[in-house]
Structure 1
Amino acid sequence: MQRETTGLLSPGTHVVEVDGLSQRYHVYGSGPVCLAVPGGPGVIWESLRTPALEEFLTMVYVEPLGTGGAQRLSSHPHGYTRERYARNLLGLLDALSLPRAYLLGHSHGGFVAQYFALRHPDRLSGLVLFGSAPVTGPEHMAEAGARVQEFVERNEGQPELPRVLAGLQAVGGATDDEQITAALRDLLPAYLAHYWAREHEFKAWRETLTCTYISGLDEDLTPDTVDDRDALPSLGVPTLVVVGRYDVICGPRWAQELNDLIPGSRLVVLENSGHLAHVEEPEQFAAAIRDFVTETSV
């Protein structure tokens, strides 16, 4: 198998073997290497593609195990824990012969990135937590419920609002790829700051989004919950926290808490974005990361 970093970081789609499983990833751009982990879990990797970042970074868009065309575990749809995803990230860095790289995690990908950074800080030049949170569970869900209510009040009278709310309800009951994809497309306006005012920009993108059903349970059907509050104050990796002002699922409350917990981190709030700032304010999003890379690569 080819192990030269140059070839494995050339533009295009690549596959390497990690722990006996095929790990697929997609390379665009040039500059310092940044691994990008999408959300969900299960949302297609293209959902995180950001051409504005590719102008100054070699973006390695990771296709997480079990998602899209990536190889599935024998326990699918179970077993996709943060530990399992982090193990594959470490294996990918090794396969690419990269002693260090930047790591960008969005949403659930942020949970994975936090886990990885706490255990392998020596392998990171910097960490970008985008739309992430220090915890999941009842407290996180209660905050999300309050933020959804704010979204409803801002968009009262929109004819499509019932469809969006039905999509949000359907996510929890989805049990296959078709159901979770339909729910994602239905709820998408809640993840954007001003969807209906900019529908001409986002409608086609919305209709092409796909998601793989990942249960969120370990192989023994135990929930893979997140609570990094006690650990994050020990994080020694330069960290940028990015959040959209109107993010309903991992909003400013959680970004501020991450920023307070992580020593020396910096916080950027994008005022005209929801959970998907990289498509709503791509230039501002990229500028924040460019500044962070410039400061940490000196």
Structure 2
Amino acid sequence: MVLPGTDPLAAGVHTVEVEGAVLRYHVHGTGPLCVAHPGGPGIAWEYLRAPELEKKLTLVYVEPVGTGGSDRLPSHPHGYTRALYSRHLAAVIDHLAVPRVHLLGHSHGGFVAQYHALHRPDQLAGIVLYDSAPVTGDEHAAEVMRSVQEFAARQADHPELPAVLKAFAAIPAIADDAAMLAAARGVLPAYIAGYWAEPQRWAPLRESLRATYISGLDEHDAPDQVDDRVPLAALSLPALVVAGRYDVVCGARWAEELHKLIPASQLVILERSGHFGHLEEPGRFADEVAAFVTADHATDRPE
């Protein structure tokens, strides 16, 4: 743990208090700065570690409130909205004491990054929307179902397929941390394009996953839905949109739509990846993200 009062970008684990909650963030790597927000909501940050990217950039991995070593809300598991995550991100970025940062959001973290870009563009030099989508709700759920059916058709003869489909079916009934973790581990073979071709490669990731049940409801028990189509069309920040061709959750269909919506955007489809391109195609992922971030050196960390 880095001691209070030291450089907020020193390598290691840091804490910062925001709205009465103690949040943790982790600094790894070297080079220009990029803040990374993990997905879920409720999946702990470690899965997002990108060693190849850390060779090119300084990564600040945020542990969102409610996950890992960060505090939980008094209303837990409810109240974790994009507005809340964005306010916390704003405080962390202010704490880093740099003029602007690039913000990378993965999966649900992409939803948060979109919201932050729309509400706090003054803090950002650009955003990386990694396996994100412009909407959630029924339309998104239908696309997930279609993608899972395609996955099932490709893997129809695999003996572990029924267990994966059972894990997907159990998601709506999740109500505690144990069930959340079981679901995250259970669906993982569908989230990685070549999982069953190299199960020994992915076993450590599966075992290391940590998860917290977060309901997705606000403090009034209403779903925290996403529909950013209209505002994203007016976004002036540069954006890099990245998705895996075989991502069953936020795949190429949504990446292409985000790219069409956002005026100053670039699109990268990782053709051999699912939902974890930073691990499935680490070299290309690192090259693409680093090239985007270093195209604007305003966020360079002083050497």
TM-score of Structure 1 vs Structure 2, range by shorter chain = over 0.9
Matches within 5 A, 1:104-119: 104-119=104-119
SS of corresponding position for 1:224:
coil
Aligned pair count reads 296
Correspondence for 1:252:
252
Aligned mates of 1:264, 1:287 — CA distance in 2: 19
Q: RCO (CA 8 Å, sep 6+): is it higher in 1 or 2?
A: 2
Correspondence for 2:127:
127
Whether 2:172 is the aligned partner of 1:172: answer: yes
Q: CA deviation at 1:20?
A: 2.1
User: What letter matches 1:264 in structure 2?
Assistant: A
Aligned mates of 1:58, 1:170 — CA distance in 2: 38
Q: CA deviation at 1:2?
A: 4.5
Q: CA deviation at 1:30?
A: 1.3
Aligned mates of 1:99, 1:297 — CA distance in 2: 11
SS of corresponding position for 2:246:
coil
Q: CA deviation at 1:3?
A: 5.2
Using structure 1 for the length normalisation, give the TM-score.
Answer: 0.97
Correspondence for 2:47:
47
Q: Give 5+ residue unaligned stretches, structure 2.
A: 299-303
Aligned mates of 2:286, 2:149 — CA distance in 1: 30
Q: Which runs of 4+ in 1 moved over 3 A?
A: 1-4
Correspondence for 1:148:
148
Matches within 5 A, 1:154-193: 154-193=154-193
Q: Percent identity?
A: 56
User: What letter matches 2:156 in structure 1?
Assistant: E
Aligned mates of 1:24, 1:294 — CA distance in 2: 26
SS of corresponding position for 1:8:
coil
SS of corresponding position for 2:158:
coil
Correspondence for 2:59:
59
User: What letter matches 2:224 in structure 1?
Assistant: D
Contact 2:232–2:261 (CA under 8 A) maintained in structure 1: yes
Correspondence for 1:69:
69
Give RMSD over aligned pairs.
Answer: 1.2
Aligned mates of 1:198, 1:125 — CA distance in 2: 38
Q: CA deviation at 1:295?
A: 2.1
Correspondence for 1:209:
209
Q: Deviations over 1:42-82 (max 9, x none)?
A: 00100101011111211000000001221011000000000
Correspondence for 1:241:
241
Q: Give 5+ residue unaligned stretches, structure 1.
A: none
Q: CA deviation at 1:194?
A: 1.3
Contact 2:34–2:293 (CA under 8 A) maintained in structure 1: no
User: What letter matches 2:175 in structure 1?
Assistant: T
Correspondence for 1:38:
38
Q: Deviations over 1:255-284 (max 9, x none)?
A: 000000001200000000001111111111
Contact 2:73–2:79 (CA under 8 A) maintained in structure 1: yes
Using structure 2 for the length normalisation, give the TM-score.
Answer: 0.95
